[in-house]
Amino acid sequence: MSQVAENQSPLQPSSQHDEVVSPWLDAWRKFRKNKLALFGAITVIFFIILGILSPWIAPQGINDQNMANTLQAPSSSHLLGTDDFGRDVLSRIIHGARISLWVGFLSVVGSIVMGCLLGILAGYYGRWVDTIISRLFDIMLAFPSILLAITIVAVLGPSLQNALIAIAIINVPNFGRLIRSKVLSVKQEEYIMAAKAIGMKDSRLLMKHILPNSISPIIVQGTLSIGTAIIEAAALGFLGLGAQPPQPEWGQMLAESKAYITTAPWTMIFPGLAIMLTVLGFNLMGDGLRDALDPKMKH
Amino acid sequence: MKKWKLAMMMLLIFTLSFALIGCGGDDDESGNGSDEEKILIFGRGGDSVTLDPAKATDGESLKVTANLYENLVTYGEEDTSINPQLATEWEVSEDGLLFTFKLREGVKFHDGTDFNAEAVVTNFNLWASDLESYYYYNSQYGDGNNGTIIEEVKAIDDYTVEFKLTRSQATFLQNMAMDSFGIASPAAIEKYGEDFKKNPVGTGPFKFEEWKEEERIVIVKNEDYWKEGYPKLDKVIFKPIADNQARLNALFTGDIDLMDGISYTDIAQVTSKSEFQMFERKSNTIGYLGLTNTREPLDNKLVRQALNHAVNKQEIADAFYGGYAVPAINPMPPLINGYHEGVEDYAFDVEKAKSLLAEAGYGDGFEMELWAMPVPRPYMPDGRKVAQLLQKQFEEIGVTAEIVSYEWGTYLDKAKAGEADAFLLGWTGDNGDADNFLYTLLGKDNIGSNNYAYYGNEEVNDLLVQAQTETDTAEREKLYMEAQEIIKDDAPWIPLVHAKPSVAGKENIINYIPHMTGNESLEKVDFK
């Protein structure tokens, strides 16, 4: 754990004379020093493990109803209580981690793929391609994003998969714009000119040089977006437009238990806490990554 | 300097605490004072739209007018039997085309004018003159061609009225008792014109006093009421509070004395407190799972019967209606005339269900969609939860149901078009008649309208059409019973529960009987 650089006084910046530090290693060192970011990362990893292992560690199935045992307060047999179907809330939250993270991760990957494609095209080719794509992004950003998501789901029909698609679509402009601006600056660099001069094909140039050199802001934005995407999925679930019962999606669990807010608050509090912690984790981790990956923030 | 600050601080604290004590004192005034005026404050979900009952189409409007107006005949206190009100007796001709009513004498409208045959004629002629505005007159007495089946209303003498019909209608009296057909003062109608809806004048136990929109409607005791000794209350205030939870809190803090529209999940909170009680409203609804009879494999009667055997209805009533619902056997609630007590329900029996499925050739089960409405309805507060319970119960017999919801308008359109496999839906009765349930919901003629299950049994349809014109009550009930037997065997639905949308109130309220139609006169209500 402990490295030489760690216990130095802030007045005496690390010199690193003979050691050659790659940018990634440097970022990792900076990240590791950021306590909040580390906490975020640990939370995220915790929920990821929970999600992956859910079929084995959840004490009960997602739909093991027991109508003789409904709305029980937390106890030793049900650590987080039971809901109005007598289902174990803890088990449902554990299974729900898998759904929420899956939706968050996959929708962001979808957004990144679509966003990068459009953003690179717009940034590299410019002119009318840029005009069309950028205006398209402007139009999409003119809508409140959740409204756009609701519209998309209404057209496709309510299901978890369609909610995922909707969330992926509404986040495309964020990534698209980001990568477009990055490409605009990268393509002015000498090495790109050099590559062009030796007759490298556009496709190879884009994939081999421009994309790798534009990607770091995407990693930061991607991490932050997973948190947002999880909230959006929960919001759609709450409105009955995302996961369909009996899937234990957290937002849907909130919606189902809102009638019991005074009589059985645990049915609401714990799914809410799960959403909050996960999103907080992704946000803290994303902030940490931004600080760590920003080359201007050398110490 | 420091002492001075401390003194100021103390002074501030004293003033504040006295002010707060003052605030607390007011609460005891509402309701129940035994020597003073008896005032009942009725909290409800929305304000009235109009106080002209003939034009009202919403329950909140009729809830008030039921206390201001009276009809020629009225429903029984606890059912929909026909009883005298402004008419004391009546006769029907042999062919069912001529009704003669003897009217109660000595009744006065709130404005002091006399109630007589001329007043009845004026009201009915007014309603017939504008079928578009008088919605219920058109829906109950219209002939479907911009005319009505009431050809003429004639005053024979001061207290005798005669109705001549173009064709006989078995539900004529049943309709007459609907709150929409309260008799208003002709003098007041003329005097107020368009403003009559805000200046109601009838013969009922209470008189209109004040309407502040979205805030309160106040009605006061009619001192000259013809029923000796009634009403018991001096004043009733109807107060709209939109949110169910906020209304319940208002009841608990004493701001209101009665509240309707309580969430089923909150009933336990009321019954656990000794200062409050529940008033049970008899069911006028049916919540059911329609099994679209034209879609595979639900077109197979054995499959539909198997699904019926798979459902535990009591569990649904207990879990999502707080016990304020009864398992349904027939497609209409038990208090409707013609309800068949003898029909035996498909017992909750998983083995039987499995063997029926096997017999139908679906021994390995099958997959289907299970539609759940996205909005709370009076007959089913949470469709998506009921669906989850059903899903689990179907799973036991090997049927995999996928829960599907659409936005409410789309849901109804798609179900109407026959695109659903199994779908949750329900119905609230209009006039307490069997026709309004059986023919409306299951008559072959109503496929594409309210027969969402596409149940096309000709024999049942014939029986139901025959019952529409049969004026002999006993004969008519026999037809409905026969229809219910066939329907049970065909199993076009799984009838689930009859919900009882009950009312919560203070413990000291007596003689309040919520009526199954959703509106009732409060003339007998009193405080202990």
Contact A263 B388 (CB under 8 A): no
pLDDT value of position B31: 44
B179 with B224, same domain? no
A237 versus A19: the higher-pLDDT residue is: A237
pLDDT value of position A81: 92
Burial of B6 (0-12, 13-18, 19+ CB in 10 A): exposed
The residues, ordered by sequence, that sit 6+ positions from B188 with a Cβ below 8 Å of its Cβ are B109, B111, B113, B196, B199, B200, B201
B178 with B208, same domain? no
Q: What is the mean pLDDT of residues B509-526?
A: 92
φ/ψ region of B322 (left if φ > 0, alpha if ψ in -120 to 50, else beta) reads: left
B311 with B414, same domain? yes
Say if residue B29's pLDDT is above 60: no
Q: What is the mean pLDDT of residues B351-360?
A: 95
pLDDT value of position B19: 52
pLDDT tens per residue across span A238-291: 888 888 888 899 999 998 888 888 888 999 999 999 999 999 999 999 999 888
Say if residue A3's pLDDT is above 60: no
Q: What is the mean pLDDT of residues B275-299?
A: 93
**What chain B residue is nearest to A84 in terms of C-alpha separation?**
B319
State the ipTM, two decimals.
0.71
All residues of chain A having their beta carbon less than 8 Å from the beta carbon of residue B318 are 67
All residues of chain A having their beta carbon less than 8 Å from the beta carbon of residue B392 are 63, 65, 85, 246
3 state DSSP class of B9: helix
All residues of chain B having their beta carbon less than 8 Å from the beta carbon of residue A240 are 374, 384, 405
Question: Which residue range is the domain that position B349 belongs to?
Answer: 285-499
Q: What is the mean pLDDT of residues A160-182?
A: 94
CATH at B255? 3.40.190.10
The pLDDT-based confidence of B33 (bands split at 50, 70, 90) is very low
Q: What is the mean pLDDT of residues A204-224?
A: 87
Q: What is the mean pLDDT of residues B467-490?
A: 92
In chain B, DSSP finds a helix count (H) and a strand count (E) of 16, 21
A11 versus B105: the higher-pLDDT residue is: B105
CATH at B459? 3.10.105.10
3 state DSSP class of B94: coil
Domain A25-54+88-185+216-297: homologous superfamily in CATH: MetI-like (1.10.3720.10)
What does R_g of chain B's alpha carbons equal in angstroms? 26
B290 with B428, same domain? yes
Min Cα distance A62 → chain B (Å) is: 12
pLDDT value of position A2: 44
**What chain A residue is nearest to B374 in terms of C-alpha separation?**
A240
* Residue B346 included in any domain: yes
Say if residue B399's pLDDT is above 80: yes
All residues of chain B having their beta carbon less than 8 Å from the beta carbon of residue A67 are 315, 318-319, 389
All residues of chain B having their beta carbon less than 8 Å from the beta carbon of residue A263 are 265-266, 268-269
Q: Read off the amino acid at residue B147.
A: G
Q: What is the mean pLDDT of residues B415-427?
A: 93
Decide if A215 contacts A119 (C-beta within 8 A). Answer: no
pLDDT tens per residue across span B226-279: 998 999 999 999 999 988 888 999 999 999 999 988 888 888 889 999 999 999
Pairing of strands B400-404, B367-371: parallel
Contact B392 A240 (CB under 8 A): no
* Residue B401 included in any domain: yes
Alpha carbon distances (Å) from A272 to A85, A115, A224, A276, B302: 19, 30, 19, 6, 45
B368 with B468, same domain? yes
The residues, ordered by sequence, that sit 6+ positions from A240 with a Cβ below 8 Å of its Cβ are A158, A252, A255, B374, B384, B405
All residues of chain A having their beta carbon less than 8 Å from the beta carbon of residue B391 are 245-246
- Token pair 């045959």 is found at B117
Contact B402 A63 (CB under 8 A): no
pLDDT tens per residue across span B294-342: 999 999 999 999 999 999 999 999 888 988 999 999 999 998 989 999 9
pLDDT value of position A68: 84
pLDDT value of position B4: 66
Identify which of A245, A260, A262 has the shortest CB distance to residue B384: A245
B217 with B140, same domain? no
Min Cα distance B385 → chain A (Å) is: 8
> With helix as H, strand as E and coil as C, how does B117-185 read?
HHHHHHHHHHHHHCCCCCHHHHHHHECCCCCECEEEEEEEECCEEEEEECCCCCCHHHHHCCHHHCCCC
Closest CA to B149 of B479, B434, B469, B442: B469
B268 touches chain A (CB under 8 A): yes
- Distance between CA atoms of A151 and A169, rounded to whole angstroms? 11
pLDDT value of position B405: 85
Q: What is the mean pLDDT of residues B149-159?
A: 92
Min Cα distance A146 → chain B (Å) is: 17
A156 versus A14: the higher-pLDDT residue is: A156
pLDDT value of position B14: 60
Q: Where are the alpha helices (DSSP H) in A34-126?
A: 35-57, 89-125
Contact B268 A158 (CB under 8 A): no
Q: What is the mean pLDDT of residues A147-153?
A: 92
pLDDT value of position A5: 46
Q: What is the mean pLDDT of residues B427-446?
A: 89
B268 with B319, same domain? no
pLDDT value of position A75: 92
Indicate which of A64, A66, A67 best probes the interface with B, i.e. most B CBs within 10 Å of its own CB. A67
B423 with B492, same domain? yes
* Residue B170 included in any domain: yes
- Distance between CA atoms of A250 and A102, rounded to whole angstroms? 12
B84 with B145, same domain? yes
Identify which of A157, A256, A262 has the shortest CB distance to residue B385: A256
Contact A84 B319 (CB under 8 A): yes
pTM for the complete prediction? Answer: 0.77
Identify which of A65, A85, A158 has the shortest CB distance to residue B405: A158
- Distance between CA atoms of B325 and B280, rounded to whole angstroms? 10
- Distance between CA atoms of A50 and B29, rounded to whole angstroms? 57
pLDDT value of position A40: 94
Identify which of B319, B403, B404 has the shortest CB distance to residue A70: B319
* Residue B339 included in any domain: yes
Decide if A14 contacts A25 (C-beta within 8 A). Answer: no
The residues, ordered by sequence, that sit 6+ positions from A207 with a Cβ below 8 Å of its Cβ are none
The pLDDT-based confidence of B96 (bands split at 50, 70, 90) is confident
Q: Where are the alpha helices (DSSP H) in B257-299?
A: 267-271
pLDDT value of position B10: 65
Indicate which of B384, B390, B403 best probes the interface with A, i.e. most A CBs within 10 Å of its own CB. B384
- For residue B131, the tally of other CB atoms under 10 A from its CB is 16
B437 with B517, same domain? no
Dihedral sign, Cα of residue A24, residue A25, residue A26, residue A29: positive
B73 with B101, same domain? yes
Indicate which of B380, B388, B389, B410 best probes the interface with A, i.e. most A CBs within 10 Å of its own CB. B388
Dihedral sign, Cα of residue B286, residue B288, residue B293, residue B299: negative
Q: What is the mean pLDDT of residues B76-101?
A: 91
Which string of b and e fits B510-528 if b means at least 16 CB within 10 Å?
eebbbbbbbbbbbbbbbbe
**What chain A residue is nearest to B404 in terms of C-alpha separation?**
A244
CA-based end-to-end distance of chain A: 20
Average pLDDT, chain B: 89
Say if residue A4's pLDDT is above 60: no
The residues, ordered by sequence, that sit 6+ positions from A26 with a Cβ below 8 Å of its Cβ are none
pLDDT value of position B30: 46
pLDDT tens per residue across span A92-126: 999 999 999 999 999 999 999 999 999 999 998 88
* Residue B60 included in any domain: no
- Distance between CA atoms of B154 and A132, rounded to whole angstroms? 76
Say if residue B428's pLDDT is above 90: no
Min Cα distance A293 → chain B (Å) is: 45
The pLDDT-based confidence of A178 (bands split at 50, 70, 90) is very high
B309 with B440, same domain? yes
Contact B384 A158 (CB under 8 A): no
Say if residue B15's pLDDT is above 80: no
3 state DSSP class of B67: helix
Say if residue B25's pLDDT is above 50: no
* Residue B14 included in any domain: no
Pairing of strands B258-259, B39-44: parallel
Q: How many domains does chain B have?
A: 3
Identify which of B265, B372, B407 has the shortest CB distance to residue A260: B265
- The number of C-alpha atoms within 13 Å of B202 and in the hemisphere containing its C-beta is 31
